[in-house]
Amino acid sequence: MQARLVVFASLALVMIAPLSAQRAGSLASRQALTTQQAPTNPAAAPATASPAATPAPVSPAADAAPNPVIPVTLIRAGRLLDVRKGVYIQNAGILVEGERIKEVGVLAEIQPHVPAIARIVDLSKYTVLPGLIDCHTHLMARFADADDAYLLTLAKESEGYRALEGAANARLTLMAGFTTVRDVESEGSGYADVALRDAIRQGLVQGPRMQVATRGIAAVGQYNPFHVNPDLRDFPTGAAMISGVEEARRAVREQIGNGADLIKVYADWNHPTLTFDELLVVVEEAHKAGLKVAAHATTSDGIRNAVNAGADSVEHGHGADQKAMELIRKNNVFLVPTVGVIDEWADHYTLRGSPNDRKWLDDFLQSIQHELQMARSLNIRVAAGSDASRAKEQGKNALELAGLVRRGFMPIDAIRAATVNAAELMSWQDRVGSLEPGKYADIIAVEGDPLTDVTTLQRVRVVIKGGETVKDETHP
């Protein structure tokens, strides 16, 4: 309890001072958007001075109304990607009321429904997509690029400080165009991810919508940190370490009670670790509470144990054989392959590694290639996940999409992995993942065509979350 209070207190204290500047910056960004009255006749629309918008004056009658007026925004898009159909709507419009989308379609058809007080956001020179989703983040992890970084972080940094690092990572993620994340384990920072999620919801800090897994569950001695002096009996661990069915059950119940939105479990670590019965009770307790289970699994036996126990997603899956992949498909389980971050460190590893290290790396990369070839041929549902854990990796979530395309995915399939598929894995398909009426107005804009060059999603120019512009780089 004391640790959780430290987390909340630290978040509050550090954010009070910059909060005024942050709000002022947000207001300046919003006022930078050019606002004009939305004419009912599109041909009569005056030229917009810039893609930015500012609120139009409100009539005295509206100002005197007892209830606040719900803000209305019209977003003009040069082209809008329908991620379900994989086609563009040219000269599109998105009508937003408050936080949610009211209407989407051809601008000329939407224009007559736009009230005169609507704010206009002109993205007519840009490609517009739904906000992206990352299903495998570790926002509390900002490790240095060193062999003992995990251990040193747990030894030197408080949970409060880790929460603040998480806030920094959350903002980087949002600015990268990822408006929703599934954070799969706090990496030794306890329940700091719960505090971060709640602070974002309350508007204390900027960040994506979050589902959090809190501490995670692993077998005793089979997760980070390793090589700790055994005399340090209370040294922090990277997950809740369990041995036996009842310890597994207690760990799940504790994490749910402390705010978990899903449960993360380590089915293996180089070899299978938790028993099938331990995995089974983890899934049983989670599903009983309506939560899904994400299973780290990188061996064929670990994958089989996790899937047969009822896990909802396999994280990584890099050592899967054909039978394991067929089991994933048979049980309609999601695969979250996390390949982008591997490409990021593989180049560096190749340069400094020994010949034996490079041989290991080549074999590892080949196993990933084989995994994703099987996933495509079996039509396994894939959701995008970045797995960033080092400071230099945070905010580079879109590398995952490029990694999928590099391994044979079509750009639209990679984009779906970070939109509609990811939303379904999170059971948030009614809220996010596509630009459709009733869903949150989580929207990004890029230059170029992501259907031919998915790397354009690494250069997001505009981010809108819940109808509010949080990033605008449309000005020269």
pLDDT at 55 over 80: no
Which pLDDT score is estimated for 15?
41
pLDDT at 28 over 70: no
Q: Which of 25-34, 260-269, 279-288 has the lowest mean pLDDT?
A: 25-34
Q: Which of 49-53, 209-213, 256-260, 462-466 has the lowest mean pLDDT?
A: 49-53
Asked whether residue 154 falls in the same domain as residue 197, the answer is yes
Asked whether residue 104 falls in the same domain as residue 227, the answer is no
Name which residue leads in pLDDT, 412 or 348.
Answer: 412
Q: Is residue 257 in some structural domain? A: yes
Q: At what angle do helices 322-330 and 300-309 cross, to 10 degrees?
A: 20
Q: Which of 50-59, 248-257, 266-275 has the lowest mean pLDDT?
A: 50-59
pLDDT at 27 over 50: no
Asked whether residue 260 falls in the same domain as residue 202, the answer is yes
Which pLDDT score is estimated for 232?
94
Which pLDDT score is estimated for 173?
98
Task: Mention every residue, 6+ apart, whose C-beta is less than 8 A from residue 438.
Answer: 100, 101, 430
- The closest of 168, 166, 172 to 187, measured between CA atoms, is 166
Length of the chain: 476
Q: Which of 22-36, 143-157, 182-196, 280-294 has the lowest mean pLDDT?
A: 22-36
In this structure, what are the phi and psi dihedrals at residue 316, rounded to the nearest 5 degrees? 85, -80
* Percent with pLDDT over 70 in the chain: 84
Q: Is residue 16 in some structural domain? A: no
Residue type, 438: G
Pairing of strands 460-465, 132-137: unpaired
Number of domains in the chain: 2
Alpha helices of 378-437 — where are they, by DSSP H? 399-406, 411-417, 420-425
Q: How far is CA 151 from the centre of its chain?
A: 26
Query: Token pair for residue 226?
Result: 């390793």
Average pLDDT score over residue span 216-235 = 95
Which pLDDT score is estimated for 66?
59
Asked whether residue 47 falls in the same domain as residue 152, the answer is no
Domain span holding position 232: 132-425
- Residue 382 CA to residue 372 CA, distance in Å, equals 9
- Residue 398 CA to residue 393 CA, distance in Å, equals 11
pLDDT at 120 over 90: yes
Asked whether residue 183 falls in the same domain as residue 303, the answer is yes
pLDDT at 107 over 80: yes
Average predicted confidence (pLDDT) for the chain: 88
pLDDT interval class at 476 (50, 70, 90) = low
Q: Is residue 431 in some structural domain? A: no
Average pLDDT score over residue span 177-186 = 98
Asked whether residue 347 falls in the same domain as residue 288, the answer is yes
Average pLDDT score over residue span 105-110 = 98
Asked whether residue 121 falls in the same domain as residue 137, the answer is no
pLDDT interval class at 371 (50, 70, 90) = very high
Which pLDDT score is estimated for 347?
73
CATH of residue 53's domain is 2.30.40.10
Asked whether residue 376 falls in the same domain as residue 395, the answer is yes
Strands (E), 215-268: 217-219, 240-242, 262-266
Which pLDDT score is estimated for 384?
98
Asked whether residue 66 falls in the same domain as residue 137, the answer is no
Q: CA dihedral defined by 339, 341, 343, 344, rounded to 10 degrees?
A: 170
Which pLDDT score is estimated for 458?
98
- Residue 379 CA to residue 373 CA, distance in Å, equals 10
154 to 141, 157, 231, 297: CA distances (angstroms): 10, 6, 16, 24
Q: Residue 153: helix, strand or coil by DSSP?
A: helix
Residue type, 223: Y
- Residue 336 CA to residue 230 CA, distance in Å, equals 34
∠109-111-113 over CA atoms, to 5°?
95
- The closest of 273, 327, 331 to 297, measured between CA atoms, is 273
Q: Is residue 96 in some structural domain? A: yes
Asked whether residue 73 falls in the same domain as residue 140, the answer is no
Query: Token pair for residue 117?
Result: 């007080």
CATH of residue 356's domain is 3.20.20.140
Q: 313-339 pLDDT, tens per residue? A: 999 999 999 999 999 999 999 999 999
Q: Does an H or E element contain 462, and which? A: strand 460-465
Q: Is residue 430 in some structural domain? A: no
- Residue 441 CA to residue 179 CA, distance in Å, equals 10
- Per DSSP, 112 falls in state G
Q: Is residue 2 in some structural domain? A: no
pLDDT at 13 over 80: no
Average pLDDT score over residue span 459-467 = 98
pLDDT at 439 over 70: yes
- Residue 210 CA to residue 194 CA, distance in Å, equals 9
Q: Is residue 7 in some structural domain? A: no
Asked whether residue 207 falls in the same domain as residue 252, the answer is yes
Q: Is residue 27 in some structural domain? A: no
Query: Token pair for residue 271?
Result: 């070899």
pLDDT at 274 over 80: yes
Which pLDDT score is estimated for 26?
40
Q: 424-437 pLDDT, tens per residue? A: 999 999 999 999 99
Asked whether residue 384 falls in the same domain as residue 273, the answer is yes
Query: Token pair for residue 9?
Result: 């207190």
